[in-house]
């Protein structure tokens, strides 16, 4: 039976929905980090700040399993097709997230509790590492001509939706439940909600038509835009040899490190930072994270579409430079008691929008760096390494540095430094990369 490509719309939905499930969990974990710390990392007499650092350490460790997941799932996607890898990734993510919701806390399981939580976080990291490469490959390879940036941006947009959903569910529980109920059992509900969400994602992905492995003669069934592309000359930074792929991975990490660091600083770490450092209430901190993620979500698709017209380099450079120039002043205004609630909300939304300028074009930028036969592995590995170093460690690094230095500007300095370092790598992009066909 001849293989048929998925329609652009079906691929868009099936490729994006798994990212929603993945980042919903990260939004929940980041929003409930103080609760997780209390339930799993706070034995009798332990310091609460140390417990929060331990919770972020488990968060960070999971990110270091992402590169392994990118290699394992990426090879599967590049050899057997995108669908098998995407089905397996969302199944593992859903199962691990739901199991967190039934884990015994340290009051019941003692010292075993944080280890069980960390183990499940590592399984999540493994599956998340395989999710990005397969999903972005599917989205960009099936995009209509001239719309790769917009279609790739849907991956980032569903990330934003997942973070919003996670933060929104956590904020809703914090409002509806008493603090005692939230700490006792309410925190489990958002993790258990991953089961029906993951079932929907799995159903959509199982309905994707079978596609040829990218290395076969029928590869055009997966990537019609790339038919005959293997015969084209390789780009200077992405030769087809393994050494060229390795160089492209390193360059890809450099190009998106600002996205990784600033995104986690402002979108995931912010609620716990406001609560632990600035004395905000739990509800205020969650509301702040929700507003920042709204700004993030609102900017992603326009930024992806804009990059189809102006190029990935122009849009991502603008986002990086904005973060460098405004991160510290923005944090000062948030801390200023004279800043009105409305102004603070606008500042938080603006911070999220700056990250959207990076996240919108980012997936297409990475997809365009690798040829079809190694695309899922290459872009997945670049994204996973960048997230492991600059995202996964963000909460741990920021919390530890603020605690030891007393400098409340650390989150802004961390984000702006990473974006400043990303600028030279972004300048190596050619202005017309977005106009070239995928190889």
pLDDT at 215: 53
> How far is residue 393's CA from residue 264's CA, in Å, rounded to a whole number?
9
Answer yes or no: is pLDDT of 27 > 70: yes
- pTM strictly above 0.85: no
pLDDT at 296: 92
pLDDT at 241: 62
Answer yes or no: is pLDDT of 417 > 90: yes
pLDDT at 164: 84
Work out the pLDDT band at 74, boundaries 50, 70, 90: confident
Task: Give, as one character, the DSSP assignment of residue 235.
Answer: P
For 363-381, what is the mean pLDDT?
92
Determine, yes or no, domain membership for 76. Answer: yes
> How far is residue 412's CA from residue 404's CA, in Å, rounded to a whole number?
16
Nearest Cα neighbor of 324 from 419, 221, 234, 433 is 419
Contact 130, 89 (CB under 8 A): yes
Q: What percent of the chain has pLDDT over 70?
A: 85
For 257-280, what is the mean pLDDT?
79
Residues 6+ away with beta carbon under 8 Å from 117: 36, 40, 58, 100, 103
Quote the tokens at residue 392.
């996964």
Exposure of 333 in the CB half-sphere (CA atoms within 13 A): 17
Answer yes or no: is pLDDT of 236 > 50: no
> How far is residue 385's CA from residue 316's CA, in Å, rounded to a whole number?
19
Integer CA distances (angstroms), 268 to 121, 180, 353, in order: 16, 24, 14
Lowest pLDDT segment from 22-26, 210-214, 345-349:
210-214
Determine, yes or no, domain membership for 50. Answer: yes
**Element at 254 (helix H, strand E):** helix 242-267
Q: What is the pLDDT of residues 308-346, one digit of tens each?
A: 999 999 999 999 999 999 999 988 888 888 888 888 889
pLDDT at 7: 64
Phi-psi region of 46 (alpha: psi -120 to 50; beta: other; left: phi over 0): beta
Contact 105, 30 (CB under 8 A): no
Contact 127, 97 (CB under 8 A): no
pLDDT at 131: 83
Lowest pLDDT segment from 29-33, 134-138, 404-408:
29-33
Answer yes or no: is pLDDT of 95 > 80: yes
Q: 240 or 31: whose pLDDT is higher? A: 31
Integer CA distances (angstroms), 74 to 78, 311, 419, in order: 6, 27, 27
For 414-430, what is the mean pLDDT?
94
Determine, yes or no, domain membership for 218. Answer: no
Answer yes or no: is pLDDT of 133 > 80: yes
Mean pLDDT for all residues in the chain? 82
Determine, yes or no, domain membership for 221. Answer: no
pLDDT at 4: 47
> How far is residue 354's CA from residue 328's CA, in Å, rounded to a whole number?
14
Contact 259, 356 (CB under 8 A): no
Rg of the chain taking only CA atoms, in angstroms: 21
Quote the tokens at residue 300.
């992603």
Domain count, the chain: 1
Q: 337 or 198: whose pLDDT is higher? A: 198
Residue 26 lies in domain: 8-209+240-434
Looking at residue 412, which CATH number applies to its domain?
A: 1.20.1250.20
Work out the pLDDT band at 293, boundaries 50, 70, 90: confident
Burial of 427 (0-12, 13-18, 19+ CB in 10 A): exposed
Nearest Cα neighbor of 323 from 311, 314, 331 is 331
pLDDT at 214: 58
Lowest pLDDT segment from 203-207, 247-251, 391-395, 414-418:
391-395
For 116-134, what is the mean pLDDT?
86
Integer CA distances (angstroms), 301 to 20, 157, 160, 171, 192, in order: 15, 7, 11, 25, 30
Contact 298, 429 (CB under 8 A): no
pLDDT at 47: 61
Answer yes or no: is pLDDT of 373 > 80: yes
Nearest Cα neighbor of 278 from 413, 394, 396, 402 is 402
How far is the first Cα of the chain from the last one, in angstroms, to the nearest whole number?
Answer: 26
Determine, yes or no, domain membership for 286. Answer: yes
> How far is residue 159's CA from residue 142's CA, in Å, rounded to a whole number?
20
Determine, yes or no, domain membership for 24. Answer: yes
Determine, yes or no, domain membership for 230. Answer: no
Residue 353 CA, chain-centre distance (Å), reads 15
pLDDT at 14: 77
Determine, yes or no, domain membership for 220. Answer: no
């Amino acid at each position: 039976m001849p293989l048929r490509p998925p329609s652009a719309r079906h691929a868009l939905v099936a490729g994006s929905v798994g990212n929603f499930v993945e980042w919903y969990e990260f939004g929940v974990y980041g929003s409930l980090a103080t609760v997780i710390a209390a339930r799993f990392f706070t034995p009798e007499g332990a310091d609460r700040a140390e417990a929060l650092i331990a919770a972020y350490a488990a968060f960070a460790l999971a990110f270091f399993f992402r590169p392994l997941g990118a290699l394992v799932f990426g090879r599967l996607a590049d050899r057997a097709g995108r669908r098998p890898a995407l089905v397996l990734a969302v199944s593992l993510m859903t199962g691990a997230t739901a199991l967190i919701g039934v884990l015994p806390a340290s009051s019941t399981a003692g010292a075993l509790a944080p280890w069980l939580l960390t183990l499940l976080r590592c399984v999540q990291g493994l599956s998340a590492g395989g999710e990005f490469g397969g999903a972005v490959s599917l989205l960009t390879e099936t995009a209509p001509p001239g719309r790769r940036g917009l279609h790739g941006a849907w991956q980032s947009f569903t990330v934003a939706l997942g973070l919003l959903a996670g933060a929104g569910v956590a904020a809703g529980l914090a409002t509806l439940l008493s603090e005692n109920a939230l700490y006792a059992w309410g925190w489990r509900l958002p993790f258990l909600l991953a089961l029906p969400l993951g079932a929907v994602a799995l159903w959509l992905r199982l309905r994707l038509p079978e596609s040829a492995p990218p290395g076969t003669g029928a590869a055009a069934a997966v990537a019609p835009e790339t038919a005959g592309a293997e015969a084209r000359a390789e780009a200077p930074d992405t030769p087809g040899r393994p050494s060229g792929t390795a160089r492209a991975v390193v360059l890809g990490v450099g190009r998106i490190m600002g996205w990784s660091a600033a995104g986690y600083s402002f979108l995931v770490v912010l609620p716990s930072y406001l609560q632990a450092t600035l004395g905000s209430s739990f509800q205020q901190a969650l509301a702040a994270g929700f507003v920042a993620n709204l700004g993030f979500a609102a900017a992603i698709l326009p930024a992806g579409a804009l990059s189809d017209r102006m190029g990935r380099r122009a849009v991502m450079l603008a986002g990086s430079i904005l973060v460098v120039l405004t991160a510290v002043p923005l944090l000062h205004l948030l801390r200023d008691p004279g800043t009105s609630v409305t102004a603070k909300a606008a500042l938080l939304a603006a911070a999220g929008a700056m990250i959207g300028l990076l996240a919108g074009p980012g997936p297409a930028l990475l997809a365009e760096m690798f040829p079809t036969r190694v695309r899922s592995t290459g872009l997945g590995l670049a994204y996973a390494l960048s997230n492991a170093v600059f995202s996964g460690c963000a909460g741990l690094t920021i919390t530890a540095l603020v605690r030891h230095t007393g400098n409340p500007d650390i989150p802004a300095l961390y984000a702006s430094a990473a974006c400043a370092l990303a600028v030279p790598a972004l300048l190596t992009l050619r202005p017309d990369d977005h106009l070239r066909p995928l190889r």
